[in-house]
Amino acid sequence: MMRHLVPALALLLLPLVLASLAWDPTMLRAVWLRDPALARTILVELRLPRTVLAVLIGGALGLGGAAMQGLLRNPLASPDVLGPSTGASLGAVFAGYFLGGGVLAVAAGGMAGALVALALLLALAGPAAGTATLVLAGVAISALAGALVNLALSLAPSPYALYDVMFWLLGSLADRSLPQLAIAAPVIIVAGTLLLRQSRPLDRLALGEDVAETLGVDVARLRWTVVVATGVMVGAGVAVAGSIGFVGLVVPHLVRPLVGNRPGATLLPATLAGAVLLVAADMAVRVPVNGQELKLGVLTALLGAPFFLWLVVKGR
Amino acid sequence: MKREARAGMGLAAMLAAAAAVASLPNLAPKSPPNVPLAFEAAPPPVRPQRVASLNLCTDELALLLASPGQLISVSRLGAEPNETPAAGRARGLARNRGRVTDIVALQPDLVLTSAGDASAATAARRLGFAVVNIVQPRTLADVSANIRQVARALDRVAAGEAVIARMLADLGPVPREMQTALMIGGGGQTIAADGLSAQWLRHAGLQQQQIARGQVNLDQLLAKPPQVLVVSRYYPGQMSAHQDWLAHPAIAALPANVRRIETDGRVWTCGGPLVAAEVARLRALVKR
């Protein structure tokens, strides 16, 4: 099972990606017959950034969740529960709406926000805090950042700003652009690669810090690497797509039993599973329900929240 | 926030004068049906000397119609140059935030309110003020009726007829040749194909495309581009995801046969007489 998990997930991802690119093929075909250049624009300027961002951000959330759960040795750790995602929203909102920054500044603000939220979390809860302390600290940071996003957008000079609360707190991949992809992709790929290389040290950390140290793991360095890489990766994703909840929490739990419960071995399959989940969710939101399109974060929360509850019940 | 709520919110928020608004408010006419306002139609016996307006749309009418000194207060939106071209005339007037409490101390002898904010009219009447409450216009005839109603209340009937005459002259007949059009604001917000804004647009020779739910996404826009894309400029240069949407490279990549023209987003908020001059400008652009 373990050996086949990664290829199986990759095989699952491929058709989903193609389906996302070629969404509504009848419409695409009609446009193609009428005006091939326009059909090309739809594919390159709309479908490509949307799909690739879904893969990258889904992967980043799955990977970030798996890495945080491994590092903190806590099943409830993930960017969306413990604050980095909302912190990234706050940073992006502040950079964009008040400092008048462009796409680059918004991305930088998102990353800074995620890092500050993570640093605050670790300072409050300590590196290996108990579940209750960690989750309490994370939920408090998340709630505070969410409230500040609301406040900031209420006070922003643009009369449209308040409409954007939904985007920043629920996320969306609709109408994303190539320039946004060009900003997020390199950051996510570099930070993600760095995180994936922490697989072995994370496995050893599961044996306890002292044992890990004797096995040659520099625990302090590992902690910094995971925190900074996760923060940067999540921040870049949030800056272009808002904070999308629950993917980072749920995905590692889905794949961990399939890899013998080793935190390090969870990283790669969690990345792929996160990508699969988000690409699928992003296609699902394009199907109107009752004449309305759902927000991405609503859908992932609908899938994720019951799972969260199940975790709580199982852990009692 | 539901999308319906967002689409309709422009008007509701504006009428409450509690917040600034979307540029294209009359997307989903969800206001209560027009109520006959018989007892309000009778003008006050003497020309009111201290008129206060609590709403952007009544501000615009009052600023166009009042004689110098007659108007003493407008809403803060009515005095905001980013919200209405009439803001220049509001210089020196007291600003209110759309609430009756803001104007009690000014002791107005006439209060203008809009039917979108029923509580303002009720509260003002309860405090004993004379109130004229205008309906949200659904048709061009409603626009003229509102002008007449406010003009009569201000004892400025001749000024009202002059404004209507100028409006109709600017408007002209509906051109025989129509082009399909899509009016878009930030975030892809658009107008209802049968709404007031679309009726105004027809006088510019533009027939608004039918778009479900008052919002268009880029997939839809590119799949079925209109002949003329009317981009509403409203608070340009201020950061929001809504404004960002208008800068998406896919819009720039539309085929060359799709004409792009810009419109002043401010006049469409209320859809009142100020739209007429903008329609004349658009008609001249479209003809060229």
User: Which residue has 């889904």 as its token pair?
Assistant: A58
Residue A166 is predicted with a pLDDT of 84
More confident residue, B32 or A307: A307
CA-nearest residue of chain A to B9? A163
More confident residue, A73 or A26: A26
pLDDT at position B17 over 50: no
Gyration radius (Cα) of chain B, Å: 19
Residue B66 is predicted with a pLDDT of 96
pLDDT at position A255 over 70: yes
Measure A165 CA to nearest chain B CA, in Å: 9
Measure A161 CA to nearest chain B CA, in Å: 5
Which chain A residues touch B if contact means CB-CB below 8 Å?
23-24, 27, 30-31, 35, 37-38, 41-42, 45-46, 96-97, 100-101, 156-167, 174-175, 177-179, 291-293
pLDDT at position A309 over 90: no
Tens-digit pLDDT profile for residues A114-167: 999 989 988 887 766 676 788 888 889 999 999 999 999 988 877 778 878 888
Residue A163 is predicted with a pLDDT of 79
CA-nearest residue of chain B to A162? B240
pLDDT at position B155 over 90: yes
CA angle at residue B87 from B86 to B90, to 5 degrees?
Answer: 105
Residue B113 is predicted with a pLDDT of 95
- Residue A2: which pLDDT band, with cuts at 50, 70 and 90? low
| Coil/strand/helix, residue A175 | coil
Contact across the interface for B239 and A156, Cβ inside 8 Å: yes
| Coil/strand/helix, residue A289 | strand
pLDDT at position B2 over 50: no
Tens-digit pLDDT profile for residues B167-212: 999 999 999 999 999 999 888 889 999 999 999 999 999 999 998 8
Chain B residue numbers with beta carbons less than 8 Å from the beta carbon of A104 are: none
Measure A11 CA to nearest chain B CA, in Å: 27
Tens-digit pLDDT profile for residues A29-80: 999 999 999 999 999 999 999 999 999 999 999 999 999 999 888 888 888 8
Gap between the terminal Cα atoms of chain A: 29
More confident residue, B35 or A74: A74
Tens-digit pLDDT profile for residues A166-194: 888 889 999 999 999 999 999 999 999 99
Contact across the interface for A157 and B3, Cβ inside 8 Å: no
For residue B44 the two structure tokens come to: 């006050």
Chain A and chain B share a number of CB contacts under 8 A equal to 94
Average confidence (pLDDT) over B50-77: 96
What average pLDDT does chain B have?
Answer: 85
pLDDT at position B40 over 70: no
Contact across the interface for B255 and A38, Cβ inside 8 Å: yes
For residue A221 the two structure tokens come to: 């360095």
Sequence-distant (6+) residues with CB within 8 A of B247 are: none
